[in-house]
Amino acid sequence: MSADYSSGAPGAAVSVGDNVPGVPGGRRVPDVGNNDSGGGRTFAAPARHPVWRAAGLLGFSPLGVVVVIVCLPLLMLVDNEYWIKTLTTALMYGALAMAFDFTSGYIGIVNFGFAAFMGLGAYVTGCLCWHLGWSPWQGLVPAVFAAAVLGLLLGLLTIRLGGIFAACMTWFAAMAMLSATSNWVSLTRGATGLTIPLLFKSAANFPYLVTMLVMALVSYLVLSLFVRSKAGLAFQAIGQDQEAASISGVDSNYYKVMNFTISCAFAGFVGWFCAHYVGVLTPQVLHTRATVEIMVISYIGGRGSLWGGLVAALIIIPTMEQVKSIQALSEIMELRLLLYGLLMILVMIYYPGGLSELFKTVVRRVGLGGWAVAYKK
């Protein structure tokens, strides 16, 4: 298929996919016949301005930058303590979902022990504060480091197994850590709970919201930089076909362990915040139940999207909080997990791509497809 575009010479024929002289950034000619907008108006992609290029290097499309600029002030305007706390929790789950998706969505390994790494980061900083009198901020690096090291060791032992075997091994490791925190009373105080200092002396939740928002953005930026790097190409190749990637010269074990270690480090990162936000740690923070919630949010957001898990958390967590407020439903034990399971089934059957794929479809339909692509150069 070809189309006639003015390229300096009247009537010059330009094929689909060719660069058009004079078009900012040398964008390619769109395939009008395959326009997903249903024949409606298609808005041209923005010119490759240095601002969009810089945003693209950080993993943000022009449309993503606009959404962030619009939404951030709205979050800052929330002044109800209940909603501030709910949004803080949603951002925390969103950051965890992004870290979980970094492994499950790119190398195809489901870490059923993911919450245990978050719990490890929480307990490391908690024990340092309780036993050694450290401040919360001093416990940040040890918490992240401990989760990363354990992720590295577990990755070296299990990741090469692949598939369900690696998933089961991570779950077994999580059960072992749960048992250790429950029974090592002299260190963790077991089910009694470990009381640790809060991150801020203020009783207000707003400082925690701002801190968690910054942590979520940092998590996305760092993970996105990895995805868009040479290592990210290796991750995607392994996730699509590990044998083909290995034949092409990709050291699959090396990149899988790298990916797993980074994911666990970010779990410890969020675990540090969780510890000093809640103030009391019990072994339940390592429970598989938390992993299930994170996994469902990640899958509903869309595998391999990173940002999808964050958006899903900002929708699902407040919704679940409203469900809990309904007296008739609050009496049903573990209703939250039942709803998570139902949502998971519906997404897998009717829209496997999750919210991220739905968003891309809607954007293409309204003719903003060019605005939703992050520039790489």
CATH architecture of 71-372: Orthogonal Bundle (1.10)
The pLDDT confidence band at residue 63, using thresholds 50, 70 and 90, is: low
Give the pLDDT confidence score for residue 5 in this predicted structure: 37
Q: Is the pLDDT of residue 28 over 50?
A: no
The pLDDT confidence band at residue 85, using thresholds 50, 70 and 90, is: very high
Residue 331 to residue 174: CA distance in whole angstroms: 29
More confident residue, 99 or 166: 99
Give the pLDDT confidence score for residue 246 in this predicted structure: 87
**What is the reported pTM?**
0.80
The pLDDT confidence band at residue 271, using thresholds 50, 70 and 90, is: very high
Q: Is the pLDDT of residue 150 over 70?
A: yes
Measured from the Cβ of residue 90, the count of other Cβ atoms closer than 10 Å reads: 25
Q: Across residues 111-118, what is the average pLDDT?
A: 92
The angle formed by the CA atoms of residues 96, 313 and 84, to the nearest 5 degrees, is 100
